[in-house]
Each structure stands twice: as structure tokens, then as C-alpha cells.
Amino acid sequence: MFNKEMNFLKANNKDAYDWLMHPSRPKHRWARHTFDTSIKVDMVTNNLVECFNSWISDERDKPILTLLEAVRLKLMLRFSKMRQVVRGLSNSITYSTRKRLAENDNVPFMIVIPSSITDFQVVDNGHNFSVYLAGEKKGCDCKVWDISGIPYKHVLKCIGYNRDVVADYCSEYFKRDKYMKAYQGSIPVLPDVKHLVDAEDHTVLPPIVKRKAGRPKLSRRREEGEKAAGPTRGRKRNSVTCFHCGCIGHNRKSCQGASVGSNKRNQTNVLDFQN
Ligand SMILES: [Zn+2]
Ligand SMILES: [Zn+2]
């Protein structure tokens, strides 16, 4: 399946194919079917990092100790909040997992042919999928269940056929017990920094900071090829066209006049216009 689609891409867009297949982009980083099946994560985006980045956005540009203190307090609160969420779980599987299961279950007609109590052949839209609910081969041909740890549509149909409990087929990582374990620790509370006993004769002086030219940058450094940040809310700016020289990217006031072309004739024209 993967090779078929890649060949299709190769035939239609050789550049895109070469970009993907470049040795600096090994397949196990982006092609889900090659992911490690023991991790149970099928994410291919860096949303997690983006999310953290925005979570600390108010403190990101603060001095390191202020930043760390803010992160400490945020974590303290989050751990406590998550413990409350886990306590409130009525089901043995987490809320987001239940949501994903509902999405996976929302599929049209499929044919389920049992071979044994654990092995099934599922026909979905003309394609055959072998599903093994247990045993050494446990998994589905489409690999979604193997990699995500959450039963996908083919597996759900077989579980339904057996009238089994879906939760028993979810990875333990999506269950209440593991969740509880993840958040069972807590960040200790600390007294105010002003109450710390001063170490005599060991006054720590602030480091000598050399101020760099220009305003300190706030935005995260982006990787090469990463999309630039979009316009922030309420500050959408269309590209301007210069009334003076007709170029895009500056206006009449900031016009340098020379960007029309470097040849003399154009230069003279611009000057003529100014006079
Ligand atoms: Zn499947
Ligand atoms: Zn101009």
C-alpha cells in the first residue's frame, strides 16, 4: 500500500518524492506504518511542543529563575487538576480515548467473517484486512490498532461480533490506572525566597550581562523550512504596493526608488516622476 502510494507520488511529483525519501528524513520519523508498535503513539506533528510553548508564553521571555518558578507552579496546579480529572472518570478508559473510539466506530458497512474466536477477515470497501484479536499476531493489517493502541474500525467490528468489552482491547496507556500513576507525584510547595537565610560573606552577585544590540527577540526560533508564524489576532496586514514605483512590500513613504530595475533608464524615469 505504502509503496503503491509512493510510486503514485513519484509519477506525479518527483520533487515531493525526492524530498520525502531524502536520507535526512528516515521513514520511521514520518511514515506511521513504520512506527514502533510498543510506544502506542501515532502522532506525526510537533503539536506537543507548540502546545507547551504557548502554555509558557507569558513567562518565556522572563529571567531563568522567574521562568522556572512559573513552570513549577503551573505543573503543581496541573498535576492536582489532572488527579481530579482521573478521580472523576466514570470509565476505565480516558475521555480522549473514548472520543477517538467513537470516531473510529462511525463507519459504514463492513463485512466480518470469523475464522476462529480471535481471527477475522474484514472486508472494508473492497479491501481485505486480517484481524487477530489475540495471540502472537495480535493486530490488524492496516496497523492503526497496533500503532495507536486504540482499536480501529476493523478491530471494533470484530470486538462487536464477539460482544466483547472494547476497553479490554485498548492499550493500558489509555486507562485510568496508568493516568493515575502518571500524575500521582506532586510538586512540593516552597517558602518565599525572601525568607531564605542569607549565606553570610557569600553574596552572589548578578552576572555581568552584555546587552546585545536591538530589541530582544520574543518569538521562538523556527527550524529551516518551518512555516513562519501567521499574523497575530487583529493585526492582519495585506502586502502593500508602492504607489511610487509599483513594487510590492513597501509604501510610498519608505520607497527607495531604485527597485524598479538597476538600469539607468528606469532610474531616470523614477527621478522624472519625483520632479
Ligand atoms: Zn484495521
Ligand atoms: Zn517604491
- pLDDT tens-digit readout, 15-31: 999 999 999 999 888 88
Nearest listed ligand to the Cα of residue 131: 1
- The verdict on ipTM greater than 0.85 is no
Choose between 84 and 223: higher pLDDT: 84
CA dihedral 247, 251, 252, 253 (to 10 degrees): -140
| Helices and strands, number each (H, E), in the chain | 9, 4
Beta strands in the chain (DSSP E): 111-114, 119-124, 127-132, 139-140
Question: Given this model, what pLDDT does residue 229 score?
Answer: 67
Nearest listed ligand to the Cα of residue 274: 2
- Listed residue (124, 149, 128) closest to 139, CA to CA: 149
Nearest listed ligand to the Cα of residue 260: 2
Burial of 23 from C-beta contacts in 10 A (0-12 / 13-18 / 19+): exposed
Residues in the chain, how many?
275
Cβ neighbors of 89 (< 8 A, separation 6 or more) are 95, 176, 179
Question: Given this model, what pLDDT does residue 270 score?
Answer: 44
* Distance (Å, whole) CA 164 – CA 131: 15
* Distance (Å, whole) CA 238 – CA 39: 44
Whole-number Å distance, alpha carbon 130 to ligand 1 midpoint, is 8
Q: Which residues partner with 130 through β-bridges? A: 121
- pLDDT tens-digit readout, 34-80: 898 888 888 888 888 889 889 998 888 898 889 999 999 999 999 99
Whole-number Å distance, alpha carbon 30 to ligand 1 midpoint, is 19
Whole-number Å distance, alpha carbon 241 to ligand 2 midpoint, is 8
Whole-number Å distance, alpha carbon 38 to ligand 2 midpoint, is 59
Question: Given this model, what pLDDT does residue 166 score?
Answer: 95
Nearest listed ligand to the Cα of residue 157: 1
Whole-number Å distance, alpha carbon 7 to ligand 1 midpoint, is 23
The answer to whether the beta carbons of residues 35 and 28 sit under 8 Å apart is yes
Whole-number Å distance, alpha carbon 267 to ligand 2 midpoint, is 12
- pLDDT tens-digit readout, 243-269: 788 777 788 777 876 544 444 444 444
